[in-house]
Amino acid sequence: MKGIRRIALGLLLAVAALAVSGCGVAKLKDLKVTSVGVKYLVPTSSRSMDAVLLLGLDNPSISFTVEDVRGVVKYYDREMVHFTAGELPVQERSVQVYELPCTALLAEKVSLLDLLAIAAKRSMEGMTVDVKLHVKLKSGAGTTLSFNDIDLSQFSQ
């Protein structure tokens, strides 16, 4: 389970970093991730799980919302998990821990045992993620961002 949690944490960091880097608002680049955690991770069937991830953010600038997050986690280019995440409204000029609800579904021909075998290695080497998300500013302006082949090993220690 620890390995699966590390994967979830890597995904969360990737989503946060991507939301900030692609917003196009200069001050959002000052956003800092202060903490990352897992509130809970619950298998809902043999092929899916729900989670609530905790994301600590120091946002010295304007408010924005990350929404409609969709992606796929790959292990050496093999699709392993498809995921979606709920809406994450980020308040302006705040230091706060946010909860991000997520749902994951195993890709075809991937079993929970496959994931556990990868998690047992305790390394995120070879793991990448493709993410598509929408970032909306308080004013209503927004944009859809897509990022491919993000190396999750950069988020592990």
**pLDDT score recorded for residue 27:** 55
Report pTM: 0.70
Q: What confidence tens digit (pLDDT) does each residue in 52-62 have?
A: 877 778 888 88
| Mean pLDDT calculated for residue range 31-43 | 73
Q: Which of 133, 15, 13, 145 is nearest to 69 (CA)?
A: 133
Residue ranges of domains in the chain, CATH in brackets: 2-155 (2.60.40)
Q: Which residue has the tokens 């890709």?
A: 107
**pLDDT score recorded for residue 32:** 74
Separation between Cα atoms, residue 133 and residue 148, nearest integer Å: 12
Q: Is the pLDDT of residue 78 over 90?
A: yes
Q: Which residues face 121 on adjacent strands?
A: none
Q: What confidence tens digit (pLDDT) does each residue in 89-104 have?
A: 989 899 998 898 999 8
